[in-house]
Each structure stands twice: as C-alpha cells, then as structure tokens.
Structure 1
C-alpha cells in the first residue's frame, strides 16, 4: 500500500512538472510601448541633457580659470596667490562633486531612472503573473536581461499577451509632483586627484550612449 502511494505521488509530481511550461517576455519592449512611460522618459532625457550642458559649462570655466592662473601665477604674491589657488581648487572640487552627485553609480540620474521605471515594472510584473497563471507557466524568462535564446517558438513568447493585458487593464498613469526632477544637495567624496578633463569626456560618451 505504501509503495502504491509512493508511485502515485511520484506520478502526480512528474505530471505537475511536465504540465508547467516556460514562457518568455521582453519587458523592455513592453515598456517602450507604454505611452505614459515614454513621456516620462523623454522628460528624464531632457533633464539629463540639461545637467550635461551645465557640467560642460562648469568644466569650461574651470579650464579657463586654471589656464589664466598658470599664466599669471608668477605675478601673484601673498594673499592674491592664495585666493587664486583656492578658487581653482574649489572649482576642481565642484566639477568632481557634480560628476559624482549627478552621474555617479548612486547619482541623481540613476536614482531618477529607477524611480521612473519602478511603477511600470510593478504593473508589468502583475500582468506577467496573470498571464503565467492563465497559461500555466512555471518559469518566465526576460528576453531583455541578456538571456541568450538560440531558438524560440512564437507560442512560448508571451510579450504580446502581457502588453495586451496592460493595454486593457492599466489606466493611464499620471506623473506625480513627487517625480519632478530637482537637484538635491548631495555630496560625493572621492580620494585622490583625477584627470578631470578625461573623466568628463568619458562621462559625455556614456551619457550620449544612453
């Protein structure tokens, strides 16, 4: 009797495993099709472009005043020399802090981008959960997360199903005032001197590529 119960349990478990299917969803594609998300992303990109322009101006001011100081240093003495040196050091620190505070790993750009996507990611997750239950999916993979899919039968791609569910059931999300893009007073502490010009150039390439 015990053997029979064990066999029944194994057969039932095996049946359940094989009954579950694997589905694939491209969440980046779904996000790109949400009008409210695209509008918010455009506002974010506009703000990032403004910050990039401000950084370029600050960098240009630093380079100009540093060059002038180097040319006039031999004529400066006492307090004049100290004041001009302090001005250059303060400008250098300002450029460095701006890079870290706005474009660093935990900077404003990444924080704002995370705040932008989270509400829509929650909506997509709920839609995926609904589609998974309806289609008896045991595993759902995200195509947008660098998953290498060599072959995928269209019937296992549930991206359109998730998008359709979002289109039917998700009301248009209004961007709240809490998402307005303002610059908080944040500081970035970094040790050692770096080549600011090359760092800013690298940052420009990174921002332009996003």
Structure 2
C-alpha cells in the first residue's frame, strides 16, 4: 500500500513538473539518502542494536514453540504403530493446537501490528522525525519544491549528484543538535 501511494505521489510530482516546464518555469527537485543519514547518528546505532536484541529474544520464543511442535511430530511418527486410532487423533489435535499456538505467537511478536513492529515505531519514529525536520529546513533554505529519498523504493533510477542534499541535511541535524 505504501509503495502504491509513493508511486502515485511520484507520478503526480512528475506530471506537475512536466506541466511546469510547459508553462516556462521549473520546479527545483533534490534528493538525499535517509539510510546514510540515519547511519551517521550514534543513537540510531544504539536503537538498531536494541531492536536486534529484541528480535533475537522474540525469535527464540517462536523458535522454541516450533521446536516443541517438531518434537511432538517426531514422537507421533515414532510411536504411531503402538498407538490406537483414538490416541493418534488425540496427538494430532495436540500437534495442531501447538502449531496454532506457534503461529499466534509469531503473529503477536512479528506480525504487521506485532510487538516488534510497535517497538520499531517507538524507537525509530523520533529519529525519522528529526531527519524530516532537517529535510524541511534544507528544502526551504535551498528553494526546493521536492526532495526524494533515495533509500526508499520510489523508482528513482538515476539521480544527478549535483542535486544530492544528504550532506546538507546532516549538517542541519548537527546544527539542530548543538542548538538543543
């Protein structure tokens, strides 16, 4: 959904740009690399490490459930000849319940609205907000109508380095940090 909206926005911008060219005035467009900017921030590295540790913890939880599930399946296969049909059915139901438990836990932790996703939003949104504020300042300072982010997949195939404002944005963020 996000990519569709981004693509539509890009098409609108390009069409506006084309119309503007036809009217005799141009729009100034720049780009930057948010991934590069974020990687220059020490707090981003801290947050990333925290998220990696959390992901490992959550992964262990989910993996242990799947390990239990596989163990139950192996036990059933090994003992199937010794069990009655009712016992086999009972164990299959237990296996299905464990499978559902593992799926639910995986969704709870890593699903679209899962705990990991919420933690990512909680930790990274303030940093992205800082970047966005710096982008806005630089856009106004340099008279830019649009700034694209090369790190996001919006279909930018080529970008002239002359229009790269990444370093300006980093400088602005440093200046804002000194001001705080």
The bucket for the TM-score relative to the shorter chain is 0.7 to 0.9
Q: Aligned-residue CA RMSD in angstroms?
A: 2.6
State the match for 1:65 in structure 2. 72
The alpha-carbon deviation at position 76 of structure 1 amounts to 4.0
How many residues are matched?
156
* Correspondent of 2:63 among 41, 56, 79: 56
In 2, the alpha carbon distance for the partners of 1:112 and 1:52 equals 15
Question: Per-residue CA shift, 1:114-160, capped at 9, x if unaligned?
Answer: 32221111111111111111111111111112242424133x21111
* Correspondent of 1:153 among 142, 161, 175: 161
State the match for 1:135 in structure 2. 142
Which has the higher mean CA deviation after the structures are superposed, 157-166 or 99-108?
99-108
Q: Structure 2, unaligned stretches of length 5 or more?
A: 1-22
TM-score by length of 1: 0.64
* Correspondent of 2:173 among 166, 171, 196: 166
Q: Which has the larger radius of gyration?
A: 1
Secondary structure of 2:64 counterpart = helix
In 1, the alpha carbon distance for the partners of 2:173 and 2:134 equals 6
Q: Structure 1, unaligned stretches of length 5 or more?
A: 1-13, 174-210
State the match for 2:30 in structure 1. 23
In 2, the alpha carbon distance for the partners of 1:127 and 1:140 equals 12
In 1, the alpha carbon distance for the partners of 2:106 and 2:157 equals 37
Superposed, 1:90-129 pairs within 5 Å as 90-129=97-136
In 1, the alpha carbon distance for the partners of 2:32 and 2:52 equals 26
Change (3 A) 1:89 1:151: closer
Structure number with the higher helix fraction is 2
TM-score by length of 2: 0.74
